[in-house]
């Protein structure tokens, strides 16, 4: 069996290959280079260049070393019938949950204020009790990651609303769905968490019209994709003080260009796409299990639906 690897930093691709061998998969490793045509059974990649798929032949499947498959699906050379396998979590959901809990505390406990006060050596606690029930949390995207976030945020005591494409139910959580459920979801939300997959239907979903539906003084935590947000609409919602703040981990262009107004906006906090890192060893373990199963004649697990895009 031959497996071709691509990661922007080649050292990491070599590490993945060694980890996959340690999981008992027997294969010849190929590390993709431009201008070289290769034949391989599987590809294991993160953000491969466009021409990757013009130069790799005979693939049975491509494994994406992340949860979001949007970049792969946007590759115009990706063969239409090639199974694309996404990672099923591999601890990413918990890491994103940890990020979200921190971000929620930053908003509801006004933690930024204390960083500023420390600089002035001022000891000044807030008199207001931060009631959980005053901060309804809305989670857009209720798949594996959204569910983990919802469970933890609900366990803390926040009212939790979710929005997804299709109808879902979960105990103690108010689930909304579809175009018809979107307005009510947004109107119920004071802290909006975006973990949607990026598809043609969800691109630009956080636009002026939808942000206007959020409760006054609301905040956005975006750990989905930058293309979910219309940047200027978010800036306007913040500048008009309809929204109080945004904690952003993902951007339309990454790295975020230095001239982008998000960098210096007082109500925006930026992290450089770190909320859901891939735990390489767990991801490779999952891929190894899937390859072993397919080799044993079982169906390949984790293949995304090309129609819905996730
Ligand atoms: C990271 O953004 C991922 O999709 O895994």
Query: pLDDT tens digits for 258-303?
Result: 999 999 999 999 999 999 999 999 999 999 999 999 999 999 999 9
Please indicate whether residue 252 is annotated as part of the active site.
Answer: no
Atom 1 of ligand 1, nearest CA residue: 66
Confidence of residue 17 (pLDDT cuts 50, 70, 90): very high
> Of residues 154, 165, 225, 269, which has the active-site annotation?
225
- Cα dihedral 52, 54, 55, 58 sign: positive
CA of 85 to the centre of ligand 1 (A): 13
Question: Residue 126: its pLDDT value, please?
Answer: 78
Peptide bond into 255 cis (omega under 30): yes
Check residue 208 and report its DSSP letter.
Answer: H
Query: pLDDT tens digits for 175-199?
Result: 999 999 999 999 999 999 999 999 9
Atom 2 of ligand 1, nearest CA residue: 68
Confidence of residue 249 (pLDDT cuts 50, 70, 90): very high
Query: pLDDT tens digits for 216-248?
Result: 999 999 999 999 999 999 999 999 999 999 999
CA of 64 to the centre of ligand 1 (A): 9
Atom 4 of ligand 1, nearest CA residue: 68
Q: Within the chain, what is the greatest distance between any pair of CA atoms?
A: 66
Please indicate whether residue 176 is annotated as part of the active site.
Answer: no
Q: What is the CATH number of domain 2-90+278-295?
A: 3.40.50.720
In the chain, domain spans: 2-90+278-295, 92-270
Ligand 1 atom showing the smallest separation from residue 250 Cα: 2
Q: What is the CATH number of domain 92-270?
A: 3.40.50.720
Atom 5 of ligand 1, nearest CA residue: 66
- Where residue 103 falls (left for φ over 0; alpha for ψ -120 to 50; beta otherwise) is alpha
For 98-145, the DSSP string reads HHHHHHHHHHHTTHHHHHHHHHTT-----SS---GGGS-EEEE--SHH
2-90+278-295 and 92-270 share one fold: yes
For 107, counting Cβ atoms within 10 Å of its Cβ (0-12 exposed, 13-18 middle, 19+ buried), the class is buried
Distance in angstroms (rounded) separating the CA atoms of residues 306 and 291: 21
**Which residues have C-beta atoms less than 6 Å from ligand 1?**
66-68, 276, 278
Out of 276, 277, 280, 286, give the residue to mutate to test ligand 1, the one with the largest number of ligand atoms within 8 Å of its CB: 276
């Amino acid at each position: 069996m031959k497996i071709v690897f691509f990661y922007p930093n080649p050292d990491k691709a070599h590490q993945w290959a060694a980890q996959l061998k340690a999981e008992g998969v027997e294969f010849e490793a190929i590390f993709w280079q431009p201008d070289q045509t290769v034949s391989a059974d599987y590809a294991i990649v993160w953000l491969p260049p466009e021409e990757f798929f013009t130069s790799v032949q005979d693939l049975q499947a491509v494994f994406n070393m992340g949860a979001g498959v949007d970049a792969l699906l946007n590759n115009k050379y990706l063969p239409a019938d090639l199974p694309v396998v996404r990672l099923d979590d591999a601890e990413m959901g918990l890491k994103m949950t940890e990020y979200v809990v921190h971000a929620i505390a930053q908003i509801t406990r006004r933690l930024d204020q204390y960083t500023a006060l420390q600089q002035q050596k001022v000891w000044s606690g807030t008199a207001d009790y931060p009631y959980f029930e005053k901060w309804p949390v809305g989670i857009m995207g209720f798949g594996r990651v959204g569910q983990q976030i919802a469970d933890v945020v609900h366990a803390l005591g926040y009212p939790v609303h979710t929005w997804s494409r299709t109808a879902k139910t979960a105990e103690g959580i108010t689930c909304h769905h579809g175009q018809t459920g979107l307005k009510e979801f947004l109107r119920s939300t004071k802290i909006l968490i975006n973990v949607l997959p990026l598809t043609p239907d969800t691109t630009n979903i956080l636009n002026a019209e939808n942000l206007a539906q959020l409760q006054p003084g609301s905040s956005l935590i975006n750990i989905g994709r930058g293309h979910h947000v219309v940047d200027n609409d978010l800036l306007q919602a913040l500048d008009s003080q309809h929204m109080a703040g945004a904690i952003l981990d993902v951007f339309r262009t990454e790295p975020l260009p230095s001239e982008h107004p998000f960098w210096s906006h007082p109500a925006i906090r930026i992290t450089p796409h770190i909320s859901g890192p891939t735990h390489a060893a767990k991801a490779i373990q999952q891929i190894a299990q899937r390859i072993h199963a397919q080799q044993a004649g079982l169906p390949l697990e984790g293949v995304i639906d090309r129609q819905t895009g996730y």
